[in-house]
Structure 1
Amino acid sequence: MGWRPVGSTGYWSVAGYAEAVRVLRDHEAFTSERGTLLTLLGRDDPAGGQQMAVTDPPNHTRLRGPLQQALSIRTVAGQRDVIRRVVTEALRPLADGGPFDFAAAMAALPMAVIGHLMALPEQDWPRLVRLTHACVAADDPEYQIDDGPQATLVTAHRELFAYFQDVVTRRRRAPGGDLISLLLTMELDGRRLSPGEIVSNCYSLLLGATVTTAQPPSAAVAALAGTPVLDDWAAHPELLSSGVEESLRWSSPTQHFMRHATRDVELRDVVILAGDAVVVWLGSANRDESVFADPDTFDIRRSPNKHIAFGVGAHYCVGHTVARVTLRILFAELLGRYTGFTLAGPSRRLRSNIISGFTHLPITAHVR
Structure 2
Amino acid sequence: MTEPAATGGCPVQHGAPDLVDPALHSHGDPHAIWRELRRHDPVSWHAVDDQLGFWSVTRYPDADIVLRDYTGFTSERGTMIDLLGTDDPAGGSQLAVTDPPRHGVMREPLQRALTLKAVERSQDIIREQIVRLLRPLADGGTFDFATAMLAMPMAVTGVLMGLPTEDWDRLTWLTTVCIAPDDPEYRHPRGRKYTLEAAHRELFAYFQDIVKEREKNLGDDLISVLLRTEFDGRRMSLGEIVSNCYSMLLGANVTTPHAPSFALDHLFGTPDLDDWAAHPELIRSGVEEALRWASPITYFMRYATQDVELSGTHVKAGDAVVVWIASANRDEEVFPHAFTFDVRRRPNRHIAFGVGAHHCVGHSVARVTLRLLFAELFGRFVDLAPAGETERLASNFVSGIKHLPITAKVKER
The C-alpha deviation readout for 1:321-351, integer Å capped at 9, x for no partner, is 0000000000000011111111111111000
Q: What is the alpha-carbon distance in structure 2 between the residues aligned to residue 207 and residue 144 of structure 1?
A: 17
Query: Which residue number corresponds to residue 2 of structure 1?
Result: 44
Unpaired segments ≥5 residues, structure 1: none
Verify the 8 A CA contact 1:231 1:335 in the aligned structure 2: no
Partner of 1:2, secondary structure, is strand
Q: What is the alpha-carbon distance in structure 2 between the residues aligned to residue 245 and residue 174 of structure 1?
A: 38
Match of 2:78 among 18, 23, 35: 35
Query: Which residue number corresponds to residue 196 of structure 1?
Result: 239
Query: What does 1:53-64 correspond to in 2, within 5 Å?
Result: 53-64=96-107
Q: What is the alpha-carbon distance in structure 2 between the residues aligned to residue 185 and residue 96 of structure 1?
A: 45
Query: What TM-score do the two structures reach when normalised by structure 1?
Result: 0.99
Partner of 2:314, secondary structure, is strand
- Of 36-45 and 224-233, deviating more is 224-233
Query: What does 1:164-313 correspond to in 2, within 5 Å?
Result: 164-313=207-356
Q: Does 1:154 align with 2:212?
A: no
How far the C-alpha of 1:233 sits from its partner, in A, is: 1.1
Q: What is the alpha-carbon distance in structure 2 between the residues aligned to residue 30 and residue 215 of structure 1?
A: 28
Aligned pair count reads 368
Q: What is the alpha-carbon distance in structure 2 between the residues aligned to residue 222 and residue 238 of structure 1?
A: 22
The C-alpha deviation readout for 1:147-187, integer Å capped at 9, x for no partner, is 11111111111111110000000001111110001111110
Query: Which residue number corresponds to residue 133 of structure 1?
Result: 176
Letter in structure 2 aligned against 1:200: S
Unpaired segments ≥5 residues, structure 2: 1-42
Verify the 8 A CA contact 1:93 1:100 in the aligned structure 2: yes
Partner of 2:406, secondary structure, is strand
Letter in structure 2 aligned against 1:194: S
Q: What is the alpha-carbon distance in structure 2 between the residues aligned to residue 229 and residue 94 of structure 1?
A: 21
Verify the 8 A CA contact 1:136 1:354 in the aligned structure 2: yes
Letter in structure 2 aligned against 1:46: P
How far the C-alpha of 1:64 sits from its partner, in A, is: 0.6
Verify the 8 A CA contact 1:226 1:340 in the aligned structure 2: no
Match of 1:108 among 144, 151, 174: 151
Letter in structure 2 aligned against 1:255: T
Q: What is the alpha-carbon distance in structure 2 between the residues aligned to residue 76 and residue 190 of structure 1?
A: 29
Query: What TM-score do the two structures reach when normalised by structure 2?
Result: 0.88
Q: Does 1:344 align with 2:387?
A: yes
Q: Does 1:65 align with 2:108?
A: yes
- Of 150-159 and 280-289, deviating more is 150-159
How far the C-alpha of 1:74 sits from its partner, in A, is: 1.6
How far the C-alpha of 1:278 sits from its partner, in A, is: 0.2
